[in-house]
Structure 1
Amino acid sequence: MSTPPRALGILNLERGAKSGESSSEDAIDAFKERLGFPIVAETVAGAWADNVIQGDPSLEAAYIAAAQRLVARGAVAITANCGYSVRHQAALAAAVGVPVAATSLILLPLLLRQYPVTTKIAVVAADASCLTDEMLGLNNSADKARVVIGGIEGGVMWQNEMKRPPPYTEPVQIQIELEACIEKLRTDNPDIGAILFECTLFPLVSPALRKKTGLPIYDVTTLCELTFAAA
């Protein structure tokens, strides 16, 4: 029996595949475009953008089952196709014998130490209203004071992702919404020194926005490259 190739495993959300289609390998365009190593994907049963973003503890068993399937298929590290999967980070890490980086949000404590204490880090999310200090790993007032949060909730992309199945959002639309959000954050906080993207659709426009803003932008693919290289 042949050994499956080393790959990054992605925990996908439901996308509403049509009859005869597979949703497991869909919805990972941002990963495929940016990452230069093999990818395998499994859909987390019942996990749609709306209930994952808002938080649904009953999904944890499905997350673990999908992660275990990924390991069986050769995944040497695991991530997820929604940043709000951070709620299941600890359970996933305990359930599989490979590194788990369920969300780019786990980079935040590192970024706070990479930059001077006079610098703020902007976290930009699909829905800022659903982020908590616990999800961001913020445990003290000094760190909290250095983090500013923005989101594109209510916009076209958010409205699309709240539907079942979610219609496609053009990357140009995502970029327009992110540019507006970032501009407001920087106007209110001119000491922002770096940006962390929560949403896994945002990497599609990360390169363009790095050029536009002149700031370092970290996203889930940044984390995946680091994690896979060490696995």
Structure 2
Amino acid sequence: MTTHTPRCLGVLHLERGLSPVATPPMPVPGSMLSPTTFDFPTISETVPGAWVENVVRGDPKLEPAFIAAARRLVERGAVAISSTCGFSIRHQPAVATSVNVPVVLSSLLLLPALLRQTPPRAKIAVLTYDSTCCEETLLGVDDRAERARIVLGGLEGGKFWHDELKRPTPPIDVAAIEKDLAGCIARLRAEHPAIATILFECAAFPIVAAAIRRVAKLPVYDITDLCRLTMASIA
């Protein structure tokens, strides 16, 4: 009798600075590492030296560590690779080249498709951990007219932003993320009434996606949606 090995999503995780003997906090429901988020198992590997600060700002020296961690995940049985930080998209080409499984490191990979999905006059709000670090090249949209349809909003300076820069990183404050995101979206919509879709860049934001959908009454996409699509395509 043969046994079926369950398909696993491999998740590249950033450093959190916890003591090796400390018990890590339980992942928040809806997060990339929570066992309740997906209907398939996940496995994770921490990328050595990859902290929120240097991943968000962009450190090319991290690329070998991302590649090595992705290869370890594949060796452990991962059939696709994602990450816990949307700014990991900087390493998307290198990681995708280094392994033989689908790689979806960031929800930003959805942006070109979402632009074609929405009416030509509609805009898409990209909500990010730090809009000052979300450069044009990360969006994957070269056409100037299409780029004009993208509105960026970030949580830089807020509680979540500050918490994520601490070492060790404290447990995620879900209420703070929801409050700051709702406020950011309200400001963006006041300035850009044509916003028709919201895309979360930050891989922590899915934990409040349901709440934001109720408040904004708009479609909200995030990295977990891309992961489900990718895993559904694999036999």
TM (norm. structure 1) is: 0.95
Q: Distance in 1 between matches of 2:16 and 2:172?
A: 13
On the 8 A contact 1:156/1:173 being kept in 2, the answer is: yes
Pick the aligned partner of 1:54 from 44, 57, 68.
Answer: 57
CA change 1:3–1:91 in 2 (3 A) is farther
Q: Which runs of 5+ in 2 are unaligned?
A: none
Paired residues in the alignment total 229
Alignment root-mean-square deviation, CA: 1.7
Q: Deviating runs (4+, > 2 A) in structure 1?
A: 2-5, 19-23, 25-29, 31-34
Question: Which residue of 1 is the match for residue 174 of structure 2?
Answer: 171
Query: Is residue 80 of structure 2 the alignment partner of residue 77 of structure 1?
Result: yes
Question: Which residue of 1 is the match for residue 232 of structure 2?
Answer: 229
TM (norm. structure 2) is: 0.93
1:180 Cα deviation from its structure 2 partner: 0.5
Pick the aligned partner of 1:128 from 128, 131, 148.
Answer: 131
1:26 Cα deviation from its structure 2 partner: 6.9
Pick the aligned partner of 2:191 from 183, 188, 192.
Answer: 188
Q: Distance in 1 between matches of 2:13 and 2:28?
A: 8
Tell me the alpha carbon deviations over residues 199-221 of structure 1, each in whole angstroms, 9 at most, x when there is no partner: 11100000011011100000010
Q: Distance in 2 between matches of 1:56 and 1:9?
A: 22
1:5 Cα deviation from its structure 2 partner: 3.2
Q: Which runs of 5+ in 1 are unaligned?
A: none
1:16-27 → structure 2 map (5 Å cutoff): 16-21=17-22
Question: Which residue of 2 is the match for residue 65 of structure 1?
Answer: 68
